[in-house]
Chains A and B, each alone.
Chain A
């Protein structure tokens, strides 16, 4: 079965319908033995230092995994650096399949994009609908895992992050992934509500590996992972186009903020950590986020895949102090 690289969440039902295996390149990069070395390798190839480390990591990841010959690139709704990433991969012989989330969430435009993707993979709506049913069954389990995180404190913030983020590609094997989630669910036991600070994490998944662990050590608990949760498509709709319209991440910040504000209320969050990747345009949106959200916000910036540095820890400590 052919492996298809993806640069972020796309209508993955189409790939499964074609009998191919989607591979979220971000996940392969960040779980590599030495992700920092992958970033350095891209810099040796000529990538600038002041460019997002995820882009550089993905570049090297694709070249290092020779079984990936085709990559679906989200050219609108994620990151415009992706354009140049695709061009540098193209000259290395990788086939690029562009996919664009329309900025205004237009139904017809989105449907057209999905249909173009279906055409590339030679599948029809019936086959795609069948895969949606298959994947929704797995997603339901992850929704339950998320609920257990904030209602019962029985799933850690890190596991909440991990299993939700994996819903971009279901680790290439939805049924096996579902078994893993089931095992986590079975092991989880509700904890009595303590005096921990309840945090929400918003923005792209963190590039540093020990954020959740550090927060827990300091008496805080992440009970909401915004973008990771969006990867699980937590929407009750049988319409695939509508599902990817309700998905907030690729559209404008105000659409995301509606979702974030509702979850702050529902999950009784004390504060928000807004993660911004160095050199990412989303960092600009921080000023809107700070203005619009009603709870204290700590903005953390991450550059390379390393552990938390002393300054970031100092800022986290001070933030938790404010919330206490």
Chain B
């Protein structure tokens, strides 16, 4: 069995691969480290039995935490590499722009002939990420699923800072805008922040991954504004974990 861990800021995603079939598991990051991990010297020992696995196997990990935690007995690979492997495996494509929006990270990667050619990431600000959407949904009093439905008639939100964005949207609520317009405005803000990165590394297909790829409105917005096809693979949130398994199993050579 191959275990692919994507150690994200919001969730730890695990993909397991045995006899050509994948299984997926997701854990809250903090809970995962508290319940299933313990630190021994410089590495993280994972309690596989407690996770419900009778056997262990080859472990490949990636993700935000990989610079601070190395899983004992495992190999870590760069995050962008894991995502490229995952996207190639899930879509069968070799030429694309990968857009990965996670809990705190935004990445845009240009892939040609299966090779990583160039990339950009958000740097000092997490305003274009899933965490921002979660906060805004909470301010609007709706679920993430509800927020993900709207892309038409967006209100204009201008704050650079995600936290100031909250007070800005409160002002818009007082002005009496509909939830649909407010939600569309929030989704558009994400697009505006990633547009410069996308414009520089654009090709005719975008593969959209990460938890935020479940946001259908954002997919529509990217498609409409960038005038290219946007493909959300079957398991967008597990893309990095899948990539680890694909790498570990040498499935794409």
Contact = CB atoms under 8 A, between A and B. Distances in A.
Q: Interface of chain B, helix or strand or loop or mixed?
A: mixed
B64 A321 contact: no
A311 B78 contact: no
B116 A322 contact: yes
B81 A318 contact: yes
Contacts of A322: 116-119
B6 interface: no
Given A278-B124, A318-B79, A318-B81, A310 B67 contact: yes
B198 to A, nearest CB: 15
Contacts of A278: 124
Interface string B93-111: 0000000000001000000
A315 B124 CA distance: 13
A317 B67 CA distance: 11
Contacts of A90: none
Which has the most chain A C-beta neighbours within 10 Å: B64, B66, B121, B123? B123
Interface string B111-141: 0000011110101100000000000000000
Contact of B118 (A296, A303, A311): A296
Q: How large is the interface on A (under 10, 10 to 19, 20 to 34, 35 or more residues)?
A: 10 to 19
Interface string A292-310: 0000100001010000001
Q: Interface of chain A, helix or strand or loop or mixed?
A: helix
B227 interface: no
A19 B80 CA distance: 55
B67 A314 contact: yes
Interface in B60-88: 64-68, 78-81
B202 to A, nearest CB: 15
A318 B105 contact: no
B116 A313 contact: no
Contacts of B81: 318, 321
Q: How large is the interface on B (under 10, 10 to 19, 20 to 34, 35 or more residues)?
A: 10 to 19
Contacts of B124: 278, 301, 303
Contacts of A317: 78-80
Contacts, number: 42
Given A303-B124, A314-B79, A314-B80, A321 B116 contact: yes
Given A278-B124, A301-B124, A318 B80 contact: yes
Interface in A47-82: none
A314 B116 contact: no
A133 B139 CA distance: 68
Contacts of B105: 311
A321 B116 CA distance: 8
A319 B107 CA distance: 13
Contacts of B80: 314, 317-318, 321
B68 A310 contact: yes
A296 B80 CA distance: 16
A311 B119 contact: no
A311 B123 contact: yes
A50 to B, nearest CB: 10
Given A278-B124, A321-B78, A321-B81, A314 B118 contact: no
A306 B64 CA distance: 19
Nearest to A276: B123
A310 B63 CA distance: 10
Which has the most chain A C-beta neighbours within 10 Å: B67, B116, B121? B67
B226 to A, nearest CB: 20
A142 B126 CA distance: 42
Contacts of A318: 78-81, 116, 119
A314 B78 contact: yes
A276 to B, nearest CB: 10
Contact of B121 (A296, A303, A311, A321): A311
Contacts of A296: 118
A89 to B, nearest CB: 28
A315 B64 CA distance: 11
Contacts of B78: 314, 317-318, 321
B52 to A, nearest CB: 29
5 contacts: A278-B124, A310-B64, A315-B121, A318-B119, A322-B117
A-B CB proximity, top 3 nearest: A318-B80, A317-B78, A310-B67
Given A310-B65, A315-B119, A318-B78, 6 more contacts: A301-B124, A303-B124, A311-B105, A314-B66, A314-B79, A317-B78
